[in-house]
Amino acid sequence: MSRPVVAIVGRPNVGKSTLFNRIIGERLAIVKDVPGVTRDRLYREAQWLEKPFILVDTGGITKEQDPLKQEVYTQAYLAIEEADVILFVVDVKEGLHPLDREVAQILRRTSKPVILVGNKADRYDVALKSDFYTLGFGAAILVSAEHGLNIGDLLDNVVKEFHVQDGEEDDSIKVALIGRPNSGKSSLLNAILGEQRVIVSPIPGTTRDAIDTPFIFEEQEYLLIDTAGIRRKARVEEAVEYYSVLRAIRAVERADVVLVVLDATDFLAEQDKKVAGIAHEAGKAIIILVNKWDLVKKDNRTAQEFEEKVRRELSFVDYAPLLYVSAKTGQRVGRIIPEVFAVANEYTRRVSTRMLNEVLREALLMHQPPTRKGKQLKVFYATQVKVKPPTIQLWVNEPSLMHFSFQRYLENRIRENFGFIGSPLHFLVRKRSKKNDG
């Protein structure tokens, strides 16, 4: 399935992120009146006139020599290379700026369709367009991203440039990378993709937005979501950082599989438990990646000791497989996506009611259900009612008699027989009534 890519480019502070938000219909990109807030490419699926496409927001193109700003320039250039259609955004209130000419010079070297967008036009005035004819892309389409003016006309022009449409459903596996700042999430994403997709910096917190990167591996589509590092609330001082934490949580909600990235050199801080807990509570499939494994001094018990600590401290995700990896050396990076594929299959596994109840009967014979105040729990039958995550409904005589430890016992028996590796297993305990018996 191939969807057109539409990239929004331009100099800093012309309203690119506001336009991005307006098109996708939600407050996704960080919007703040400070040039340079959007630094990485930000991807999101969008649709207009039943035509789906991928919209890409980018950092502003600037000539400043600051290394991080030069990285932003590189990322914007990469977005231009990937795009099928380019939205070149200018500020009609401020008028033609020397940097607009620099951006235009870059865009003229591409053969991609370029649509000139005159943003911050609160009213239609032909005079607003005149300065921008000299850029060489014809008349600007006047819009106000902030107020939503003329966005429909802009999108009509965008979809006219789409030559190939594919109406298939999105069956990609969505994978979010989460972890504390500087745990190496962006480096891992780059290592997985084999290219420099997101800015990697030794400064904690460089990734602020959730970055969606689609790719295909062995004929399966994936969407990798890199997120800002999750900080303790006490350390979230800037509003930008605060929204980054919320976005990381939302990225988890969008994912099928969550890669929880731990730093082997600063292993299992309290914040790591909270990070893993976000994915667990959201009911997502989980793989634990211990990154920077190349920096750990090892003996023949090192891996076992690390795993014992993970299983002890993160006991609530004991179903999650664990991989020791190094983004820097590439150690075991090649195993990540095959593991994601396997775990995603477990996350969508369905078990027949007949097979499930055979396992349930065996489990009840081996271990009597608990009794309280002379009344014993009776488990009549089970059925799987959903996937993502796999959810088992148990019909019983009295739900209040279901003790956590017995439910855990049943979960273990089900996992022994059916796997569900990497996937949480949810239970719904319902009281059987005569109506249920039909």
Q: Predicted confidence band at 194 (pLDDT cuts at 50, 70, 90)?
A: confident
CATH class belonging to 173-347: alpha beta
pLDDT score, position 113: 94
Question: Which of these ranges, 100-104, 133-137, 186-190, 239-243, has the smallest mean pLDDT?
Answer: 239-243
Q: Which residues pair with 323 in a beta bridge?
A: 289
Do 5-160 and 173-347 share a fold? yes
Q: Edge to edge, what strands does the sheet with 285-291 contain?
A: 211-217, 220-226, 173-179, 257-263, 285-291, 322-324
Q: What is the pTM of this model?
A: 0.66
User: How many degrees, rounded to 5, is the angle at CA 228 between CA 39 and CA 58?
Assistant: 20
Q: Taking a C-beta distance cutoff of 8 angstroms, is the pair 75, 199 a contact? A: yes
Cα(391)–Cα(424) distance, rounded to whole angstroms?
A: 9
Report the Cα 108 to chain-centroid distance in Å.
33
Q: Which two tokens stand for residue 84?
A: 């099928």
The winner for highest mean pLDDT among 13-27, 107-121, 390-404 is: 390-404
pLDDT score, position 2: 54
Peptide linkage before 389 cis (omega within 30 of 0): yes
Cα(418)–Cα(280) distance, rounded to whole angstroms?
A: 20
Q: Which two tokens stand for residue 320?
A: 């999650």
At 322, the amino acid letter reads L
pLDDT tens digits, 56-115 = 887 766 666 666 556 556 656 766 777 889 999 999 988 898 888 888 888 888 888 999
Q: Which two tokens stand for residue 321?
A: 């497989």
Residue 365 pLDDT > 90, yes or no?
yes
The predicted model gives 266-289 an average pLDDT of 92
Residue 27 pLDDT > 80, yes or no?
no
Of 307, 272, 311, the C-alpha closest to 293 is: 307
CATH 2.40.50.140 applies to domain 5-160: no
Residues 6+ apart with CB under 8 A from 273: 313, 314
Q: Measured in Å, how far apart are the chain's first and last C-alpha atoms? A: 45
pLDDT score, position 168: 45
Q: Predicted confidence band at 11 (pLDDT cuts at 50, 70, 90)?
A: confident
CATH class belonging to 353-431: alpha beta
Return the residue matching tokens 């401290």. 313
Q: Which two tokens stand for residue 160?
A: 């006219």
* Domain range summary for the chain, segments of one domain joined by +: 5-160, 173-347, 353-431
Q: Taking a C-beta distance cutoff of 8 angstroms, is the pair 157, 141 a contact? A: yes
pLDDT tens digits, 293-351 = 999 999 999 999 999 999 999 999 999 999 999 999 999 999 999 999 999 999 999 99
Dump strand ranges (E) for 302-424.
Answer: 322-324, 371-372, 375-376, 379-386, 391-396
What percent of the chain shows pLDDT beyond 70? 78
Q: Which residue has the higher pLDDT, 438 or 318?
A: 318
Q: Taking a C-beta distance cutoff of 8 angstroms, is the pair 54, 30 a contact? A: no
Of 57, 115, 117, the C-alpha closest to 86 is: 115
By three-state DSSP, how is residue 106 classified?
helix
